[in-house]
Amino acid sequence: MNPFKTSKKRVFVTRPFADEGIIMLREKGYDMEVFERDEVISREELLRRVKGADALLSLLTDKIDAGVLEAAGPSLKIVANYAVGFDNIDLVEAKKRKIPVTNTPAPEVSETVAEHAFSLMLALAHRIAESDVYAKAGRYKGWSPNNLIGTDVYGKTLGIIGLGRIGFAVAERAVKGFKMKCVYSDPKRNGDFEREFGATYLPMDKLLKTADFVTLHVPLLPSTKHLISTDAFSLMKKSAFLVNTARGPVVDEKALLIALRTKRIAGAALDVFECEPAIDCDLTDKLELKQFPNVILTPHTASATIEARQAMSRIAAENIIAVLEGREPLTPAK
């Protein structure tokens, strides 16, 4: 007897997450199976449990390749990724099988990630993390005019690499809230953006030479892997800060470590890592990111708010419902 044989549409979810989308799918009467543990599902378990699914709701930590699609079988009609990015999914293999792939570019996610990116900029400039460690260690003995001197964000130049929804939202906070000047680099110029924010389009090399803060908002593609490497760091101001809330491999970690060690840049804030979940790719080089006081690390939590995660959950569910009901997906990955 096949345990997966059912008249209901079957949806497999690879990890527990924000519940609104799960509730929506259950209310549709689908046969729901959610992986029980809050951890990355093993390859073996994924291959076993995806069999016979009509829909797969995956996370960015799941590698969805030909092997997974083959294991699912001909019943699979959609892969809905609970993430804005989708570099964990083999789109070519999915297209071969005519399986739509969707992501979750909710407005709430853009705003949340933009808040996080801008918070990291402020924390770097005002040395918030260093000050927290200093005070908690009992080293604060009274006010000093020279203690933990930082720099202003107000009026400085922000360089945005990748002008998607998140880059746009970062610019709004920077220009309208902190009177920053804005330069940007993107495959396409955006006249509306330039007019609204007084922004200037620059090739990336000129942007790197100009910006006091460089924030990354590009997808992970072959063309963007190690986009920021030795050459890029050599162009940046020594007083400049780098913020990455995009994807870890966009930054060449070894080059970043050397730039920090040689004081080629003033500091960095990372929410994503090249060899994630490892914070360092190579612990033998003795240049670990964790040793630098001018580096802020957050554990891939830029979208970690109730509002953003529930919105992602709803969009993933809406995509599944649309496809299983014979309609086009709302947010196809492209």
Point out the residues that are catalytic.
247, 276, 300
CB distance 280 to 255 below 8 Å: no
Strand partners, 184: 160, 201
Instruction: With beta carbons less than 8 A apart as the criterion, state whether 90 and 65 touch.
Output: yes
Read off the amino acid at residue 175: V
User: With the CA atoms of 103, 106, 111 and 114 taken in that order, what torsion angle do they form, in degrees rounded to the nearest 10?
Assistant: 10
Nearest partner of 297 among 150, 116, 162, judged by Cα: 116
DSSP 131-171: HHHHHHTT---S--TTTT-----TT-EEEEES-SHHHHHHH
Residue 45 sits at φ, ψ, to 5 deg, of: -65, -40
- Spatial CA neighbour of 329 closest among 51, 52, 86: 86
Q: Tokens 């620059």 correspond to what residue?
A: 202
The residue with tokens 């994503």 is 272
Whole-angstrom distance, CA of residue 299 vs CA of residue 27: 33
Q: Which amino acid is at 59?
A: L
Token duo for residue 199: 């922004």
DSSP state of 49: H
Compute the half-sphere exposure of residue 324: CA atoms within 13 Å on the CB side of its CA: 24
CB 14 within 8 A of CB 58: yes
β-bridge partners, 263: none
Q: How far apart are the first and last CA of the chain?
A: 39
What residues form DSSP beta bridges with 320?
none
